[in-house]
């Protein structure tokens, strides 16, 4: 089953690696955004099935983006998985107040990224 996922990161290399990983490993359709404002627009227009969102971004960081997504009827039900270098991989709930589906530590393994997303979201293969 083909999924549509939005990857949001201010680092173009991270976006490219994540996009290539999810498209090549799983065949998912991947949309990308370079900041929170762009993510809000794309999420509302394209209705992805999940959002992979960087925590540390200029202007609008990941937590603020999550709060704004949750406050909009068009995007409130889209599960968000945070991507961050500022968490220990074993800490599964470093942002308990945000209501995110999960957290993936950066740097991530491109060969296992799709599997991590599937596991966090409960998607079958």
Res. 85 pLDDT band, cuts 50 70 90: confident
Q: Report pTM.
A: 0.92
Residue 53 has pLDDT above 70, yes or no: yes
79, part of any domain: yes
Res. 82 pLDDT band, cuts 50 70 90: very high
Q: Which domain holds residue 96?
A: 4-108
Asked if 40 contacts 6 with a C-beta cutoff of 8 angstroms, the reply is no
Residue 11 belongs to domain with CATH number: 3.40.50.2300
17, part of any domain: yes
């Amino acid at each position: 089953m083909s999924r549509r996922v939005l990857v949001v990161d201010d680092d173009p290399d991270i976006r490219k690696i994540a996009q290539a990983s999810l498209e090549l490993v799983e065949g998912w359709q991947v949309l990308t955004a370079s900041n929170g404002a762009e993510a809000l627009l794309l999420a509302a227009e394209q209705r992805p099935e999940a959002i992979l969102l960087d925590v540390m971004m200029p202007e609008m960081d990941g937590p603020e983006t999550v709060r704004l997504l949750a406050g909009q009827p068009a995007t409130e039900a889209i599960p968000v998985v945070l991507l961050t270098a500022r968490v220990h991989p074993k800490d599964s709930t470093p942002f308990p107040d945000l209501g995110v589906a999960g957290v993936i530590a950066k740097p991530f393994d491109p060969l296992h990224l799709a599997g991590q997303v599937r596991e966090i979201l409960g998607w079958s293969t």
